[in-house]
Each structure stands twice: as structure tokens, then as C-alpha cells.
Structure 1
Amino acid sequence: MKSGLRWLLVASAALAVSLVTTVAAVAETTVTVAYWPGPESDAMQQVVNWWNANKAAQEGFRVRLLTFTRQDYFTREMTALAAASTEFDVAFTTTYIVGEMAPYLEPLDNHFERLGASDNLKVYIPSSLDSLRFNGKLYGIPTDVSNHFLYYRKDLIQRLVSDRIWQQRYREISQKYLGKALEPKQPSEWGIDDYVAASLFFTQSINPDSPTQYGTVLQLKNLIFNVMVWNDLLWGAGGKWLENGEPALTSPAAVKALDAYGIIIRNRATPPDSLNYEFAEANAAFGSGRVATMVQWSAAYHQLTDKRSFPGLSDKVALGPVPGNPHATHVHSLGLGINAASPRKEQAARFLAFLASRQAMELYAKSGGLPPVSAVLSGMANTRPEFPLVAEHVEKYGYVEHTGPETRAILQALADHLSAAWAGKVGTTEALKRANEAVHEILRKK
């Protein structure tokens, strides 16, 4: 009896030691994820919490988020990566910086293949994966996607396509300013000329019968994000930054895209202070009811249809593809990659494999994220009616311009030279010539 009791005590002690050792191992092994602060990190925290509550003990490690200030975020993160810092195991990246980060990140393809998780990547819209590839290798798992829509007042467009007097006036205005009498169309059919014509028609200084003061609102502040919006017209006119590795910013397509902005600006079809506008100011202008259309980021829809914020407008906002032939929308993704200097790359890869699952992406979306996963976005139509359209447009119209290490430098060069044209300091031809030369120099230095 005594020997049995002694055995039981020994066994219990061994079990206790084993449990303590297991708990200690989980507690001591932590994968640190650097993440962009704000709604995105709030949403990701819910995924991390779920992991720690349900997977940490089984997988042998916990996860924690590390956030920096938004100001100079990427400078702070890049400095740490370049110094082979191990303060974080998973790095936050995005389309326009992934090429710069690539030397300090682990290609993910082999990790996913080794873990038998390659099929997880199939949940993503292909263009979102392309937006985090560099030289054919995947360096980030997409967590959020950004794209553009044409926003328009559906009450005004409905009248335009049904009112004969308005239709005749539309033809007259397009003939006068564009040299051709255009017929009003549904926004889903708009090319660039249709967008310009509508912008002019709904401007009171051109058409006194217009219910809105301005036909559109352009974002013209010298910022790379405003170039991303203009870039849709470049693609919609059949152009690109580069053709066969050489700058192509003096092409007929580039001229058409920049001229479209020029016609709108010269004829005051956008608010006069648009040179200082970016996302928030454009939203405010459209939300005020003074503007009939705009090309804007998808994040604006949830704000503009909020009845408390815009009670007179919220039920009048509709979405369409960005005007062009073909329709095209810039796509960039936020995502997570593995720090090549991390001593916990195995654990980091396992967490990213979990993150690239429908389960994790559903939780992330319901917590406020915008993952590029069609099945997830389509399933949230009741609470976020724009989400299925995000998925559809990213899949049908999405393009990824460039992911090289020079991407940010090219964007800034375009911002400098295009904004000079938007401000009327140089003409279309000269602005594009200077932009082309600047991009050529950036590529030469690469």
C-alpha cells in the first residue's frame, strides 16, 4: 500500500513537472509580429487572441503584436530589418515597399510547401498575391487589400439617362469641351471621356441646371497615394509606367490620362482647393452633397453610407468600376512576411500558414479587416455591402503596377511632376517628359 502510494506521488510529481515544463515552453516561446497601428492592428489582435487561447499550447508558442507609430513606420521597420534585429519575427509589409524589404525577408513559397499549406494560398484573390511578390517569389501573406471605385450619385445619374432635356444638354457640353457629342450612359459603361463629360455636365458654372456645384472631386495633393488614383486612368487608357522595362510615360495613353485631369481642373469641375486634397478632403467634398462623382478608395463607402454622418446622402451613393477601356483599379495589399534574421522562423511560418486560412481571415474581416478573400468578403454582404464588390473588382479589374525596390521612388517622381501639371505650372507634354526622364534615371541607378 505504501509502495503504491509512493508510486502515485512520484507519478503525480512527474506529471506536474511535465505540465509546468510545457506551460513554461509556451510562455517562453513568443512570436512577435510587427503591425501597422490602427483599425488593422485592432482586427489582427483578435486573431492573435484566438491563437493564444486555442492554438498556443498545441503549437508550442504564443504570438504578440508590436506596433510602432504611423509616422515613419516603414523607416523604423526597415532600419531594424537592415540591422538584422530580432525584436520581431514577422514584419509588416505592403505592395509599394515589398521590393525594398525583400533582401531582409524569407521567401514564403518553400515554407508553405514544407508545411503542406500551399493550398491555403488559394483562398486569396490572385492579384493580391501578385502584389506581394518580387522576382516571382512571395514575400508576404495578404491581410488587407485596397482598391478604387467610381462613386456617383445614383439619383442624378438616373435622371441623366432618362431626362431628354438633360441628355441634349449633355451632348452639347461634351461637343463643346471634348469635340464629340456623347450620349449619357450608365456608369458601368463609362470610358474616360464619359467621366470627363459627366464631370463637366454636373458643374454649375458650366451647366446652371446642375444640382451639384462640381461634377467631380480630384485628389491633387503631392502624394504617392494620389498618383495611385490617377494611375487607374493611365491603365484605363491602355498605358503603364513601363513597357519592356523602359519608362512609357510619354505614350498616347499617358497623355490622355493627364489631359482628362487637365480638362476637369481648367474648367473648374473640381473644387478649387483640390490641390490640397487627399482621401479625407475628397470624402468631405462628396459627402457635403456639392459633388456628383469621384474616383476614391474603397474604404470611403462605409463612411459615406453612414446615416449618422451623412443623413442626406447615405442612401444616394452608388459604386461602379473606375472609368476606362478597359476598367482598371490599382490594387495594393498589406501583408506579413518573415524576418530573415529571426531565430523563430519555423514558428513564424506556422503562424502565417494559419493566418492564410479562411477561418483566420473570416475572424480578421469580422473584426474590421479587409482581407482579399472572395469567399469571406461575399459572405459579409449584409453588414458590409461593398465587400462583395471589392472582391469582384479586385479580381476582374485589379492590376499591380510594380513591386520593385524602386517603386516608392517612381511614385514620388510621378507625384512631383504630375502635381506640377495639376497646379498649372507645366503643360501635359512637358510634365510627362520630365516624369519619364525621372523614372529612367531611377531605373538607371538601380
Structure 2
Amino acid sequence: MNMKTIRIAAALGALLLTGPATAQETLRVLLEGHSTSDSLKALLPEFEKQTGIHVQAEIVPYSDLTSKALLAFSSRSGRYDVVMDDWVHAVGYASAGYITPVDKWMKADTALFDAGDFVKSYADTLRYKEHYYGLPVYGESTFLMYRKDLFQQYGIAVPKTFDELAAAAKTIKEKSGGNVAGITLRGAQGIQNTFAWAAFLWGYGGQWIKDGKSAVASPQATEATNAFVNILKNYGPIGAANFGWQENRLVFQQGKAAMTIDSTVNGGFNEDPKESSVVGKVGYAPVPAQPGNHAGNSGALQVHGLYIASASKHQDAAWKFVSWATSQQTQMKSVELNPNAGVSSLGAINSEAFTQRYGAFKDGMLDALKNGNAAYLPTVPQATQIINNTGIALSQALAGTKSIESALQEANSRNDKALSR
């Protein structure tokens, strides 16, 4: 046991000395449906025993999380003391004053908080107007995941451009007689399809916002959308237009698709014998980009944090929970409990347990994080509206109810109205 771990263990023990007022407190915590949350819920008895603080944890699907949080925040009811969400949505919470800066606790209560233990890009992302608004509980980049065995069988090189990606998907679908989809991607409307599409957007030289105006109808964005729609409709699995993160991951893990572009955390599921039928068969590579267009920027950098509600009447206790949940010791236990490659603790990432479980893709993941694009999704207070508007356009394009050009133009107009507010 190293000295840092000893110090954290001692700090946990010291929390037992918390005064009577804290012992009476109950925290209400809203968590995202994710392996991180499953681990935290399993470990809650330890936190409650160590602090005397009771925690009521509510876990909801990611698709329902933001609307539920906004409903509670806008009522100023203090229904939730702590909310978990990704920064794309939380920057709007910060702008609206729904969550409170945590700078004061970062300086005053370091019993479990260790700034040097976080992946730096994760911690730095959760800043708005020079204040930190949360602590990173998990993060991710993206990479291309591909079936090494099928690529070898069919003589396919790892794609470096989106043209090569489409060619590889076509070859696999044809040579497998249609038994294996060439590629699977998230297609469900909203954050799901925009998350997948953003790789194409950046890889084709586009961006979300340019000079303060929406750029989702630019020539580059249009070309990217054509590529996204064509590859998914021609070489994707049936129903892909309705796939979220879980559906997309399961199709790939079950061996029904030869490629996917998705979160680095998916590697943990690919290599888990309890979860996957493709263990040891998956290769991990950078997200493609068209020649000369933002090479290296087509991979994401997404951070999910824990935030303290401004309306909470238990903010000090909430900080104790947030700092405990993101501590090295808790995250190291999380690695053991569930497929959780997205931990934000450097100590957990560099642990023997992490390497044993995730060694097959660890180096690829760290490279992706190093090169991840923090602007992969919009990081403005209007991000939620921009993502929703663009997601509708992508769904219309996938369904063929509107042309790609008209769908993007309509989304662009709506995005500009949101940005002008």
C-alpha cells in the first residue's frame, strides 16, 4: 500500500468523527444509468458507515437524466442534492445558476479530494467562468473498434479515412453474406446520434459553431452527414436508427457487427467474458478523418461529473459524497466491481487491477484521451437545444423524411435562434 492510499484510508477513518448534525443528514442523489453508478450504489454502505450520512440514490437512464434534473433544478425545490451528468448539459446548469461552484471545498476540505489524482483534461473540463463546478466521476474518448479476426480473414487494412471505413464496411457485409453488419453506430435521435455523427463532422473538416453562428449546414457538415447516413443505411444493422449507447454496444459485443465508433469505456465491455462474445478479437484504433481535415480532432473528450445543487440544504455533506465518490480508493474498488474503464483517477487507471482487466485497449484509450477534442460536442449554455435540433435533422435524414440539405438548414436556423438568446 503506497503512502497516498494510506493517507486516503486515514481520511476515510477520520470521517467517522463527523459531528451529530451531519449524522442526521440525508442526501438525495440523481445518478446516470452506467456501470459507475452501479458501483457507487454497491459501495454506499461504506460511505454511510464512515460518515453517518444517509444517501438515497436514484439511477435513471441517460436519456431521461437531463430532463429529470432540469425539472428539479427549475423548481428550486432542492429535491436533489447531487446530480450526475455530462458537461455538455452541466455547462447549462452552471450558466443558469442551478449548480454551485466547488472551489471553496477543493481548498478547505481535502480529506478525500486530491486534485493531482484526476486525469487533468477531465478535471479542467468542468470549469465555467474560471470556477470549477464539479468533480469528474468518469470520462471517455472515442475510438474505432474493429474485429481483428474478420479484418484478417477478408484482408482489410485498418481504416484511416471515412472513405476507407465505408469500403471496409461494404466488404464485410458482402463477404459475410449479410450475416455480419459492416458497422454499427448510434442512430437514436438526440445526444445519441449527434455523438456518433460528430466524429464525421470533425473528420470532414466541420464544426458545430463558427464565429458565433451555427455551422451544422456548412458544406463540410453536409458532406459528413451524407457519409454518416449512407454508411449506416447501407452497411449498418437493422434498427440502427433507434440505437442508443447500450443497443449499439450489445450488437458489437454479440459479434453482429464488424466495426463501431463509440466510447472508450466500451472496451471494458468488449473484453469482459461475462458481457461479450468477442473477447480478444477486437482491435482499437484512432477515429478516422478525411485527408487534411482535422486529423486527431474526430475523437471525443467527454466528461461526466458530480455536481452540487445550488438549492441543496446539505451542501457540505454533498461535497463529502462527491469527493468520496471520485476518490482514488472508491474508483479502484469500482474497477473491480463492474466494467468501468472510464474512471477519472490516475491511481485507478495505473493500478494492476485496471491493467489486468483492460490491458487489451489501455494504450489505445490513453492515446485517445490525450488527443481527444473537448469541442467534440458544443460546450455553450445552449448545447442541449443545439444537440436536440441537430438530432432531429439526423433522424429525418436517416428516415428519408427530409433531404439532408433541408433537414440541416432547418436545424441550423433553430440553432442560430438558440444562440441569439
Distance 1:29 1:214, change over 3 A: closer
Question: Structure 2: which amino acid aligns with 1:408?
Answer: T
Alpha-carbon shift at residue 154 of structure 1 (Å): 0.5
Q: Which runs of 5+ in 1 are unaligned?
A: 1-20, 164-183
Query: Does structure 1 conserve the Cα–Cα contact (< 8 Å) formed by 2:286 and 2:368?
Result: yes
How many residues of Structure 1 are paired with residues of Structure 2 in the alignment?
391
Distance 1:309 1:94, change over 3 A: closer
Residues of 2 paired with 1:126 and 1:252: CA distance? 35
Which TM-score applies when normalising by structure 1? 0.76
Alpha-carbon shift at residue 199 of structure 1 (Å): 1.6
Distance 1:86 1:251, change over 3 A: closer
Query: Does structure 2 conserve the Cα–Cα contact (< 8 Å) formed by 1:377 and 1:391?
Result: no
Query: Does residue 259 in structure 1 map to residue 226 in structure 2?
Result: yes
**Residue number in structure 1 paired with 2:137:** 143
Residues of 1 paired with 2:151 and 2:304: CA distance? 34
After the TM superposition, which of the residue ranges 129-138 and 253-262 deviates more from structure 2? 129-138
Residue aligned with 1:53, SS = helix
Query: Does residue 393 in structure 1 map to residue 368 in structure 2?
Result: yes
Residue aligned with 2:57, SS = strand
Residue aligned with 1:202, SS = helix
Residues of 2 paired with 1:104 and 1:417: CA distance? 29
**Residue number in structure 1 paired with 2:211:** 244
Residues of 2 paired with 1:121 and 1:416: CA distance? 39
**Residue number in structure 1 paired with 2:260:** 294
Alignment of 1:19-418 (within 5 A): 24-36=20-32, 39-54=35-50, 56=51, 62-67=53-58, 69-70=60-61, 72-102=64-94, 103-115=97-109, 120-159=114-153, 185-187=157-159, 190-204=160-174, 208=175, 213-265=180-232, 268-307=234-273, 311=277, 313-324=278-289, 325-326=295-296, 328-368=298-338, 369=340, 370-379=342-351, 380-385=354-359, 386-387=361-362, 389-400=364-375, 401-418=377-394
Q: Which runs of 5+ in 2 are unaligned?
A: 1-16, 290-294
Distance 1:213 1:123, change over 3 A: same
**Residue number in structure 1 paired with 2:7:** none
Query: Does structure 1 conserve the Cα–Cα contact (< 8 Å) formed by 2:134 and 2:305?
Result: yes
Q: CA RMSD in A?
A: 3.2
Query: Does structure 1 conserve the Cα–Cα contact (< 8 Å) formed by 2:299 and 2:371?
Result: no
Which TM-score applies when normalising by structure 2? 0.80
Query: Does structure 2 conserve the Cα–Cα contact (< 8 Å) formed by 1:378 and 1:387?
Result: no
Query: Does structure 1 conserve the Cα–Cα contact (< 8 Å) formed by 2:193 and 2:394?
Result: no
Query: Does structure 2 conserve the Cα–Cα contact (< 8 Å) formed by 1:104 and 1:340?
Result: yes
Alpha-carbon shift at residue 425 of structure 1 (Å): 3.3
Alpha-carbon shift at residue 391 of structure 1 (Å): 3.8
Per-residue CA deviation, residues 287-308 of structure 1 (Å, 9 max, x unaligned), is 4545322213334434444446
Residues of 1 paired with 2:19 and 2:241: CA distance? 58
**Residue number in structure 2 paired with 1:422:** 398
- Sequence identity (%): 23
Residues of 1 paired with 2:268 and 2:183: CA distance? 19
Alpha-carbon shift at residue 67 of structure 1 (Å): 1.2
Residues of 2 paired with 1:272 and 1:310: CA distance? 20
Distance 1:73 1:216, change over 3 A: closer
Alpha-carbon shift at residue 218 of structure 1 (Å): 3.3
Bigger CA radius of gyration: 1
Residues of 1 paired with 2:93 and 2:21: CA distance? 31
Query: Does structure 1 conserve the Cα–Cα contact (< 8 Å) formed by 2:183 and 2:232?
Result: no
